Structure 1
Amino acid sequence: MTSTTVPPASSGFSQRAMGFTLAALGAILFSGKAIVVKFTYAYGVDAVTLIAFRMLFSLPFFALIALDQARRARRGQLPVLTAGERGRVVVLGLLGYYLSSFLDFLGLRYISVGLERLILFLSPTLVLLITAFWLKRAIARSQWVALALSYAGVVLVFAHDLSQSAGDAVWLGAGFVFASALTYALYLIGSGELVKRVGSTRLTAYAMTVSSIACLVQFFVLHPVSALLQPMGFYGLSLIHATVNTVLPVFMIMAAVSRIGAPLAAQLGMLGPVSVLFLAYWFLGEPVTSWQLAGTGLVLAGVFALTAKSRASAKPRNAPA
């Protein structure tokens, strides 16, 4: 008699399917934060309060991971960070998770969820442009086409929102969100080399902890302690924002990267802008128009072309750095 064994391909397929599922759900949950932000603004709070409570509730999760990573480093299981690397982690935390999130929340007060998500999705194009002009790297013709598609899509949705709302508000909100995308692009560029040595889990935990502390300091500088007292509904939304839309998708995407690699996980992140259009329609009553669908299609086509090119030129990666 021959023993029955599970074919290795079956296990590989299940791991790949799990990676696809985690990446897709992570992208949808992360994009859904804009819906929760819109609901939370109904309580009359400002962006400082909103982001402070998000970080207050998510801080314990990231702090525990950061402490565990620091303990492993002290035991010699992980590289010990130099003073320069610790300084870079602080700067990246302030830039990528504090300033970028704060600007995004400011913008969401003025523009639709669909437009906000599309503008944020321009981060890969901004990374390309910054590295091209800063590091003097040539941009291929196909990349210029991809850039043109992406920005044409955003202009299309922006023009639609401009015709439906007060012009000044749309300009202001779009400006804040574009600045958010720009600061996050700078974070991605700055973290490129550091993540290879520190690791994505460790860097994220450290950067999020730094960002959380910065948000709380900002809150107590600008608001009295009594501002911590808010309606129960506000606490509930903040808890959802911190766990379902922040902590959970971060770990989902990390787990997905370990199964299917970073480039493919990033491409599945394109589900975010599509899903948020329908989530905004369902929860907020924002209309899904042909203009928005066309603009979203152009942005996704452009970003897909850029990430596909990067994936083709990158080495295969089966685990996070």
Structure 2
Amino acid sequence: MKQTTKTFIYGIVLGILGIVLFSSKAVMVKLAYQYKVDVISLLLLRMLFSFPFYVAIAYLYRNKNSDIAIKNKDYVWVVFFGFVGYYLASYFDFIGLTYIKASLERIILFLYPTMVILLNRFFLKQPITKIQAGAIALTYLGIVIAFWDEVAISGNDTYIGGIFILLSAITYASYLVGSGWLIPKFGVMKFTAYAMIISCVCVFIHYSIISQVDLFSFSWEVYFIGFLIAVFATVIPSFLVSASIKMISSSNFAIIAGIGPISTIILASVFLNESLTLLQFFGALVVIGGILLVSSNKSKVKE
């Protein structure tokens, strides 16, 4: 019993650390933009520094789940979801952050669990309970409250940034919905590594086709922040979150994930001097409450 309790506490600590590190990405991206780096170059630096880690993971886990038959079409789907879930979602996110605050970005991105439920309803015909429907309505009410107030302060650019962040949340939710049947075949680590490798290649191609910016023309701060984004806001938290879910279950992890927007708000306040109005903070709390209600109700339905 003591060991179980220790494991549970350890899993919570790992989960919180992973969530905070993931949440730091938006803040570091905004910091990098202060040094006049463009979107695709910063995204390329993130992928360049991440790429060796995921290649190593793919190699180390190459023989895991080898007893499960994997068809050629499964690899095609991995390519597709790597393109949608990590390349497009990241690209939309990085563009959106050129227009809106890091704290508001995290609040909008936090909608993805509701989008997973909606996509499951439309494409997989999974029912939505009354509690889930009410919770979804609550989350979008919170977004309207926070977003409307920001538009009044920052102007119409907020709409542009909000649309791109919303697209990021939708594409990431699509990845979560579509990859559900692939993860049991490949395993979490191998599937994630494969998807990330695909997304890296997509960014490499994107940069080579459209960018005329010299990758070696930036200040050292840009490369340093790019490395931090890759290692401490991408690679390390992906392991921490996977370990946490394994220790405490996905339903418990969904509950502690509510600290994500709050941690971003705090980090943005410290490092970017960003601040939310009382109305925006109230909207953030409404969103978090709705997501927690959705997550807890979803886990009860599964059980």
TM-score past 0.5 threshold:
yes
Distance (Å, rounded) in 2 between the aligned partners of 1:152 and 1:252: 32
Asked if residue 260 in structure 1 is aligned to residue 260 in structure 2, the reply is no
1:258, CA displacement in angstroms? 1.5
Structure 1 residue 264 displacement after superposition: 1.4
Where do 5+ consecutive residues of structure 1 fail to align?
1-8, 316-321
Superposed structure 1 runs of 4+ greater than 6 Å apart: none
Partner of 2:293: 305
**Is 1:17–2:17 an aligned residue pair?**
no
Tell me how far 1:139 sits from its aligned partner. Answer: 2.2
Offset of residue 160 of structure 1: 1.3
Note the C-alpha offset of 1:80. Answer: 5.2
Instruction: Normalising by structure 1, report the TM-score.
Output: 0.91
Deviates more, 1:130-139 or 1:280-289: 130-139
Q: Secondary structure at the match of 2:275?
A: coil
What is the number of residues matched between the two proteins? 303
C-alpha contact 2:99 2:160 (8 A) present in aligned 1: yes
Structure 2 residue aligned with 1:87: 76
- Scaled by the length of structure 2, the TM-score of the pair is 0.96
Pairwise CA distance, 1:82: 1.7
1:162: which partner in 2? 151
Is the 1:115–1:154 contact (alpha carbons within 8 Å) kept by the matching residues of 2? no
Cα deviation code 1:159-192 (max 9, x no counterpart): 111011122x101000000001010111011011
SS in 2 for 1:95: helix
Deviations 1:6-64 (A, max 9, x none): xxx11111111110001111111101100000011112122111111001001111110
Could you say what the CA RMSD is over the residues aligned between the two structures, in angstroms? 1.5
Q: Which residue does the alignment assign to 2:52?
A: 60
Superposed CA deviations along residues 86-109 of structure 1, whole A, max 9, x for unmatched, are: 111110100000000000000000
Q: C-alpha separation between the residues in 2 aligned to 1:15 and 1:90? A: 35
Q: Distance in 1 between matches of 2:108 and 2:282?
A: 15
Give 2:97's aligned residue: 108
Percent of aligned pairs with the same residue? 35
Matched residue, 1:43: 35
Structure 1 position 216 matched with structure 2 position 204: yes
Mapped partners of 2:241, 2:67: distance in 1: 22
Structure 2 residue aligned with 1:273: 261
Question: For residues 258-311 of structure 1, what are the alpha-carbon distances to aligned partners after superposition, in whole Å with 9 as ceiling and x for unaligned?
Answer: 111122122211111011111111111111321122111111111111110111
Partner SS state of residue 190, structure 2 = helix
| Separation in 2, partners of 1:226, 1:285 | 30
Question: Which position in structure 1 is the counterpart of 2:87?
Answer: 98
The DSSP-based 3-state class of the residue aligned with 2:274 is coil
Give the greater-gyration-radius structure (CA). 1
